[in-house]
A and B are shown apart, each in its own frame.
Chain A
Amino acid sequence: MTGYLIRRLLWIIPVLWSITLITFLLMHAVKGGPFESGETKASTAARDALKAKYHLDQPIWVQYRYYMEGLVQGDFGPDLATQGLSVNELLSRSWKPTVVLGVLTTIYATALGISLGILAATRRNSVIDYLSVGFATIGASTPNFVLGIMLVLVFAVKYKLLPAIYPSDGLTDWHAWVLPVIALGSLPAAYIARLTRASMLEVMTQDYIRTARAKGLREGAIVLRHIVRNALIPVITAIGPIAATLVTGSFIIEYFFSIPGIGRAYVQAILARDYPLIMATTLLYALVVAVANLTVDMLYAVIDPRIRYS
């Protein structure tokens, strides 16, 4: 198990390195550089000076070497759009809102999805079952930006209970997070609910559940210790990729609610051809995806003792 973990961790390094290479090539294939847009109205001489300063006049492989030399020392390079700030400084400002949003949304989606799934399966064909299946169907077919619009209309515009736009002290103000978390988390919650319900129903037909009933266990103990525990294995494997897409896919919600997170920075960076910032955000996200998948594989082994990695 430890050997497997170490090998998986080491494997992340070549993956991330390939991503720097692919991203670097792709970025430079995009027409137009950071100093060629209309935003910075610099003279030709000044533009050349800027290009020289950031090595943009060098061949691409030289630029890549400069970049990688900085990266292995933990330096993501200068931010070309703001000029003066480094990407590290920029990221240290914007990672917190993204992490808070990702963590809160994952908790919301998992808690809501699993509870609804368990409720629906244990009370099959009841009103509760139909309601939660209905929620799962409608929730899964509403894009998060549409849900965001509806939530803002009702709770921010009509009843003025919650802010439609991220307030300046948003990190410590719970009001700021309610709408973004619901908007972002309801689709995965619906998916998790569906998955939990299907998995519960399948486990309930197993022989060991009949045995547990036959030996006179209380219903609560059967549901919690036998059914739920076994039914959650496929659900947990699904939560890893879901958590990863929640973090990396949150940019649309960050953009919509004006949350100053990494996702919003990424979209702005792409539109401004801000190479170092694009590279840094892509790498961070790739790291999140890799770690999320690894964590799930490890959790999988903890929950299900039949699974052994070698």
Chain B
Amino acid sequence: MTHEAAGAPPTTTTGVAVLADIAAATATRSLWGDALHRLTRNRLAILGAAVIAVMAVAAVFAPLVSPYPYQQIFPGKIIADPTLAHPFGTTLAGQDTLARIIYGARNSLAVGVFVQFIILVIGVAVGGGAAFGGKRLDGLLMRFTDIVYAFPDLLFVIMLQQVLSGTRLGGYMGGLFVVFLAIGFVGWVNLARLVRGQMLSLRERDFVIAAEALGASRIRIFLRHLLPNTLSPVIVALTFGVPSAIFTEATLSFIGIGVRPPLADWGNMIYDGYGAVLATPWPIFFPALALAITFMSFQFLGDGLRDALDPRTR
């Protein structure tokens, strides 16, 4: 304050007025409003968010949006090139590619969202527990995290998927539910470390010590100070986690683990199209494009969120 006053021009009244203006302008926007403002100015991030929104709407209302049912077979139209009736062509089984891509978006987005939800729950519980549960619990949880981290993740996902699909969960959502669980159970490690590290370093920060000195309760400090400040890196990590979960699911279904035909899935569409790749590239081209566009959209949104939520790192 004194520093600003010293640098202010002789007409102090205008200086004070400007300061008041700045205060008024910043007071109307909260931390989140500020971040939203920064995010909306990032064109790539908005583009990414818009693409994701369109995909989500198409996935939810697939029966209304899709030109045909995904399992409908058009006899005599096997791996047909794109035409007006079938803008993305047809598959090896004679199904409309566009319809299968729209229905496949359901799987991909569901994987993205549910896996991140599992990761969020386990990651915050383990990370927060380690940061707050005392030395002993911290040691125990972090050793456990080390062990899960050492598992080769994609291979562990395959094994878990095999274990779980033998149980009653196996038939749930056409095998997709088991894939969520497997990817989620392996993927929380980095988030747990992030949450723990963030909370431990926040606890040493001046504003938390000040709150403690003012007599704020542990719960209040946790809810008002630690949680909101941990939330931004967590949101960013989850956003970047979505496309990698989608890739993992597509990889699994490409090698024939996970979602099986006749259910539509981008990974198994690519595998399917590979069987006819010498005849035509279209059955592979469109699902691969869908995967790439989805990945890029989440990447752009993640970049935008990171810049918006933490303006110090660029």
Contacts and interface: CB of A to CB of B under 8 A. Distances in A.
Interface stretch (A26-34, A65-73, A169-177): A26-34
A99 to B, nearest CB: 15
Interface stretch (A50-58, A80-88, A209-217, A244-252): A244-252
Contact of A15 (B147, B152, B166): B147
Nearest to B298: A141
Interface stretch (A35-43, A104-112, A124-132, A143-151): A143-151
Contacts of A26: 159-160, 163
Contact of B154 (A153, A248, A290): A248
A267 B151 contact: no
Interface string B67-94: 0000000000000000000000000000
Given A141-B299, A248-B155, A19 B150 contact: yes
Contact of B166 (A29, A149, A290): A29
A93 B158 CA distance: 23
Contacts of B147: 15, 18-19, 22
A281 B153 CA distance: 13
Interface residues of B, number: 36
Interface string A231-266: 000000000000001001101100100000000001
Interface string A270-284: 100000001001100
Contact of B162 (A11, A16, A270): A270
A206 B202 CA distance: 26
Contact of B296 (A137, A248, A252, A289): A137
A282 B166 contact: no
B251 A30 contact: no
Given A18-B147, A149-B274, A23 B159 contact: yes
A142 interface: yes
Nearest to A16: B150
Contact of B292 (A29, A141, A267, A281): A141
Q: A-B pairs with the 8 shortest C-beta distances?
A: A31-B166, A248-B152, A285-B152, A141-B295, A141-B292, A146-B288, A18-B147, A141-B296
